[in-house]
Amino acid sequence: MTPFLLLQALVLLGLVVTAVLIISFKDLLAAAIAFAAFSLLLSLEFYLLQAPDVAIAEAGIGAGLTTAIFIIAIRGTQRHEEKN
Amino acid sequence: MKMTKIVRTTADLFFPFCLVFGLYVVVHGHLTPGGGFQGGAVMATGTALLLVARSYDDVTGRIRKGAMKACEAAGLLIFLCAGFSGLFAGRPFMANWLAPDSALFRTAVAHGPNAGDLNTAGLLPLLNFGVGIEVLGGLTVILLYMLSGIKEEKKP
Amino acid sequence: MRHVLFSAILLLFFGGLMYLAADLPFGDPPRTDMDDYFLRNAQAQTGANNVVTSIVFDFRGFDTLGEATVLFTAVLGVGMMFRKLKEGEEYEND
């Protein structure tokens, strides 16, 4: 197994782990930050697949703007998920 | 939820660098990876950083909603004018009539990998710039509208 | 019990998809006429070193015009949703 494939496997594993973390967090701010980490890993994967244009767009929109919108929404509502 | 002083200072510090990096991506769109949309998104990320760190009343002095709306409209207008300018040159709509030989952005590039020159690519830098400021204005206006919609609770 | 069944069906479904997708050529398409044309002629016809930008803004410039219009319309819609109400105007709650 070449180092390139190993790096790609690590990134994909990190993607799955952060995706599970997003849906398992009860603290919504932590979930938003986990989503930012997911987007950053996704943009790294795009870069590894030699699509730097898509990587820049993903890093800007996914990791930056979407997280900002989520944090603004959390600021307007409440931080923790309700227990029922 | 009020941000701490560390977050506010860091956002203030990073804001101009984000804008400059986004402008670099826009201007070098026809040479390096990236382009109008990506560069505009990076610039909008800079403004989003400031918006997240501060409250709405704090930020309206530095990011004006009217200026951002003007940016957005001007971007689309630049794109359309650049597209229609092909008609006046006797070419079809959106034709890259500046590319081979004219006054501006006209240097021909060699085939294959080369060092690159900003003064190339005809209409593409204009279109890149138009889309860049349109994306910056549009995304910032959406963020400003969303931020103005929520009420900051006054806590003593 | 239902969760186990559901998970098994899901696993089977995506396992089958992965098995089918293993044979697909990825990043190595067999037909490359269009790619070759762009790679050969983009620099000479548009003068841009970045072939992706030359496709997005020149060869497929009409699509980019549509994308810019979509963004403009989206911002218009958000502005209409969040606009300031006039004096004495109320939201209609039907």
Residue C41 has pLDDT above 60, yes or no: yes
Which of A57, A71, A74 minimises the CB distance to B37? A57
- A82 vs C: CB within 8 A: no
Higher pLDDT, B93 or C73: C73
Domain membership of residue B36 (yes or no) is yes
Residues 6+ apart with CB under 8 A from A15: A38, A41, A42, A45
Domain boundaries, chain A: 24-79
Domain membership of residue C24 (yes or no) is no
pLDDT tens digit sequence for A8-43: 888 989 999 999 999 888 888 899 999 999 999 999
> E-assigned strands of B88-133?
none
Give the structural domain span for C56: 50-83
Domain membership of residue B115 (yes or no) is no
For chain C, how many structural domains are there in total? 1
User: If 0-12 CB within 10 Å is exposed, 13-18 middle and 19+ buried, where does residue B50 land?
Assistant: buried
- Averaged pLDDT, C32-58: 80
pLDDT tens digit sequence for B4-36: 888 888 888 988 999 999 899 888 888 888 888
Predicted local confidence at residue A8, as pLDDT: 86
* Phi then psi dihedrals of residue A80, to 5 deg: -105, 145
Domain membership of residue C66 (yes or no) is yes
Q: Residue C77, Cβ neighbours under 10 Å: how many?
A: 11
pLDDT tens digit sequence for C65-91: 888 899 899 888 888 887 776 666 676
Highest mean predicted confidence (pLDDT) among A19-33, A63-77, B47-61, C28-42: A19-33
Residue B155: both structure tokens together: 């806590």
Give the structural domain span for B143: 5-110+120-149
For chain B, how many structural domains are there in total? 1
Residues 47..76 of C with a Cβ closer than 8 Å to B: which?
47-50, 52-54, 56-58, 61-62, 64-65, 67-69, 71-72, 74-75
Distance CA B38, CA B57 (A): 28
User: Which helix or strand (DSSP H or E) is residue A58 part of?
Assistant: helix A52-58
Domain membership of residue B155 (yes or no) is no
Distance CA C31, CA C20 (A): 20
Domain membership of residue B66 (yes or no) is yes
Chain C residues closer than 8 Å to B124 by CB: 46-48, 53-54, 57-58
Distance CA B105, CA B126 (A): 10
Domain membership of residue C32 (yes or no) is no
- Per the CB < 8 Å rule, is B1 touching A69? no
Domain membership of residue C54 (yes or no) is yes
Domain membership of residue C76 (yes or no) is yes
Structure-derived torsion over alpha carbons of residues B68, A39, C65, B98, reported in degrees to the nearest 10: 90
Domain membership of residue C70 (yes or no) is yes
Predicted local confidence at residue B155, as pLDDT: 46
Residue C62 CA from chain centroid, whole number = 16
Q: What is the DSSP letter of B120?
A: B
Residue B146 has pLDDT above 70, yes or no: yes
Q: Do the beta carbons of residue B38 and residue A56 sit within 8 Å?
A: yes
